[in-house]
Amino acid sequence: MSEPTTFNLPTRLRRLRQHPAARDLICETHVSVNDLIYPIFIVAGSDIKQEIRSMPGQYQWSIDRLPELLDTVISAGISSVLLFGLPDVKDAQGSSSWHDAGVVQQACRVIRQHAPELFCIVDVCFCEYTTHGHCGVITKNARGQLGVDNDTTLTNLGKQALSLAHAGADMLAPSGMMDGMVAAIRQVLDANDFSMLPIMSYAVKFASNLYGPFRDAADGAPQFGDRRGYQMNPANGNLAMREAELDIQEGADILMVKPAGYYLDVVSRVKNKWPAVPLAAYQVSGEYAMLKLAIKHDFADAESLMLESLIAIKRAGADCIISYFAVEAARLLQKR
């Protein structure tokens, strides 16, 4: 028999992987319930809790049943929510988005009354409110081509933002990728005594195929064309940095990269460039749906897969994560 070979290795990295406590001691990245933001879809009508076909476990909620969900969110330890609205009336401009009796405005007031401890973030855009499903006012350019009128849309964003501020929103999250949207909203807020209301800008929002389930959930699919004329080309990382820089200059308090999982390189680049600027990442509907499908077919352990996806986003540099897994993940984290 030959003698076993002994290697004189000065460092063995596996030494600190042998015991669970040792692994915890040197863990570099931690996901906390305080990092998580839970998206909510508010629909016009009453007594509605409608499961979203393409997003198992996620629902559309009417105003009267919203307190049920708020109690669930709070019991899980979640402190922040992000609201999206599905109105009963749509038009070409999305004017119901700035009505005082709008569906999201009503939801803000319910939160202020039923769960004032929750931090209420509201999406500011028009795709859910317009008959055409685009994120602003549609006009024809000099060549007769249809497209979103950037500057007219900025005016309407100001109206929407001010209405939501009066309704009690704690933070506004413009998502339409209009040039100058942060500056336009900031100017309106400051001129109307809302200078302390923060803005979380969808600074880097890619024209992704991962938004399909969301469009089902929010009834906001474009009725013609697509959104590549204002959302970003997935191939462009350098341009993402320009978008982020402009939003910082315009007064954004928090930047966002969307989607998260396919764009962790962009999350990392933005955070490394501006480490002092808070950064959010949105684990979008398509990411959620794909992971749910893997779990359904037993391709992976549900808890481990969910947490690994969130850890990866946090490790890349996100300070907070918008995720449909937020409530499930928060419950799991509370047990650990």
Give catalytic residues, as residue numbers: 205, 258
56 within 8 A of 292, measured Cβ to Cβ: yes
Q: What is the CA radius of gyration of the chain?
A: 22
Of 194, 208, 217, residue with least CA distance to 84: 217
Question: Would you tell me how many other CB atoms lie within 10 Å of the CB of residue 83?
Answer: 22
**8 A C-beta contact, residue 84 and residue 125:** no
**Whether the Cβ atoms of residue 181 and residue 154 lie closer than 8 Å to each other:** yes
Dig out the tokens for 18 from the structure.
């042998």
